[in-house]
Amino acid sequence: MIKEFIGNTPLRKDEYLSKKYKANILVKEEFYNPGKSSKDRAAWFMLEDAINKNKIVDGGTFVEASSGNTGISIALIASELGYKSRIFVSSSCSEEKIKLLKKYGAEIERCDNSNGLHVFNSTQYLAQNYSSNHPNTYFTNQYYNSNNIKANYKTTGPEIWKQTAGKVTHVIVGVGTGGTISGLGRYLKEQNPNVKIWGVEPNNSVYELYMAGKNIPDTEINFDSIEGIGRTFIPGAFDRKCVDKIFQISKDDTIAMAHLFRAERQDLLGFSSAAVLATLDRYVEEMELKESDVVVLFFPDHGSRYINKLYKDFAPITELKGNYNASI
């Protein structure tokens, strides 16, 4: 049963990063999940809940709006359980993810944007519309499904607590729907209210504004496109009480970090993982980390999902805006 293989991913101390940033830096390696991303967790909880509550019957179709990873997880788990899937992806979705979705048997709908249920032609609008008009389909609606938070409250948070023997002091995690940060943040703060839960979003995304109590502009919002993170609206899956701070990072800094990591470590960071590491690098002074701190970087997937987007042209690293120091 696929459920047994979801979660319990490694939390690895990265000696190189620990030395570089003068704190204990641990990486939560979510690409060890069967669908190769953290979104297996939320997908499992959403599908299991719908099946248990008889919202869909055998052979039915799960419908979701996803930049890729949630869709991949749903397609994989649905097919294992004898269901179909139909995934509404935004135009920015990587070719690797589209190919994987097809391999897992998903039907794919490409949409203009993923700007929320209230926006015509968005992935969410079209997914809901499709589900409303087709019997025996279920729209998992990750942006508003409480199982998205619950999955991370029940699994990711407890894993991090146990794997650090309660010593975790900070978690830095990308924010898309908000399910991961809210679920793991809620659990960890219940264990120790002093744990800092820091989110990462692309420049011009709206979470930072929201955290500062400012209004989200009515005008069209164009945030830096970093696959998996950032929003133009605040989804129900984001719980501000579980979050201490949101940092913003640019796409350029994120790509530069991905290339630097490849050059220095011979490994490929996922797009949003690169954003998390670029954020640590850029704001490390402001973060005022102590040597005894235990900092968990949440890496939702792996760079192998972004070969065309991030690593096709192994361009030399010419200009790095952040505090990128290759020599340690």
Ligand X SMILES: Cc1ncc(COP(=O)(O)O)c(C=O)c1O
- For the record, the structure tokens of 202 come out as 């692309």
| Cα–chain center distance at 253 | 18
- Which of 35, 157, 179, 303 touches ligand X by CB under 6 A? 179
**Which residue, 136 or 244, has its beta carbon nearer to ligand X?**
244
For residues 277 and 254, give the distance between their C-alpha atoms in angstroms, rounded to a whole number: 8
Starting at the edge strand found earlier in the chain, the sheet holding 11-13 runs: 11-13, 24-29, 294-299, 170-174, 196-202, 245-249
**Which residue, 185 or 291, has its beta carbon nearer to ligand X?**
185
- Which of 229, 246, 269, 310 touches ligand X by CB under 6 A? 229
For residues 254 and 124, give the distance between their C-alpha atoms in angstroms, rounded to a whole number: 27
Among 20, 39, 189, 309, which one carries the catalytic annotation?
39
Q: Of the listed pieces 13-21, 160-168, 170-178, 279-287, which binds ligand X according to CB under 6 A?
A: 170-178
The strand ranges marked E within 210-286 are: 245-249
Q: Of the listed pieces 76-84, 113-121, 123-131, 178-186, which binds ligand X according to CB under 6 A?
A: 178-186
- Which of 175, 188, 287, 310 touches ligand X by CB under 6 A? 175
Q: Of the listed pieces 52-60, 108-116, 153-161, 174-182, which binds ligand X according to CB under 6 A?
A: 174-182
User: Helices in the chain by DSSP H: which ranges?
Assistant: 15-21, 39-52, 69-81, 95-103, 123-132, 146-151, 157-163, 179-191, 207-211, 251-265, 271-287
Decide if residue 185 touches ligand X (CB under 6 A): no
Binding mask 18-37 for ligand X (x = CB under 6 A): -------------------x
**Which residue, 24 or 67, has its beta carbon nearer to ligand X?**
67
Q: Of the listed pieces 11-19, 104-112, 176-184, 242-250, which binds ligand X according to CB under 6 A?
A: 176-184
Please state whether beta strands 24-29 and 11-13 pair in parallel, antiparallel, or not at all (unpaired). Answer: antiparallel
Q: What is the DSSP letter of 302?
A: B
Determine the Cα angle at 235 with ends 130 and 183, to 5°.
115
Cβ-based neighbour number of residue 325 at 10 Å = 10
Q: Tell me, by CB under 6 A, how many residues bind ligand X.
A: 19
Binding mask 66-105 for ligand X (x = CB under 6 A): -x-xx-----------------------------------
Residue nearest to ligand X (CB): 228
Identify whether 39 is a catalytic site residue: yes
- Which of 115, 147, 180, 254 touches ligand X by CB under 6 A? 180
**How near is the Cβ of 38 to ligand X at its closest, in Å?**
7
For residues 118 and 120, give the distance between their C-alpha atoms in angstroms, rounded to a whole number: 7
Cβ-based neighbour number of residue 150 at 10 Å = 19
Q: Which residues contact 32 (CB under 8 A, 6 or more apart)?
A: 9, 10
Please state whether beta strands 245-249 and 196-202 pair in parallel, antiparallel, or not at all (unpaired). Answer: parallel
Binding mask 103-142 for ligand X (x = CB under 6 A): ----------------------------------------
Residue 319 sits at φ, ψ, to 5 deg, of -130, 120
- Three-state DSSP at 315 gives coil
Query: What is the identity of the amino acid at 180?
Result: T
**Which residue, 69 or 90, has its beta carbon nearer to ligand X?**
69
Q: Of the listed pieces 62-70, 101-109, 282-290, 307-315, which binds ligand X according to CB under 6 A?
A: 62-70
For residues 78 and 178, give the distance between their C-alpha atoms in angstroms, rounded to a whole number: 23
For ligand X, the binding residues (CB under 6 A) are: 37, 39, 67, 69-70, 174-181, 228-229, 270, 272, 300-301
Catalytic amino acids?
39
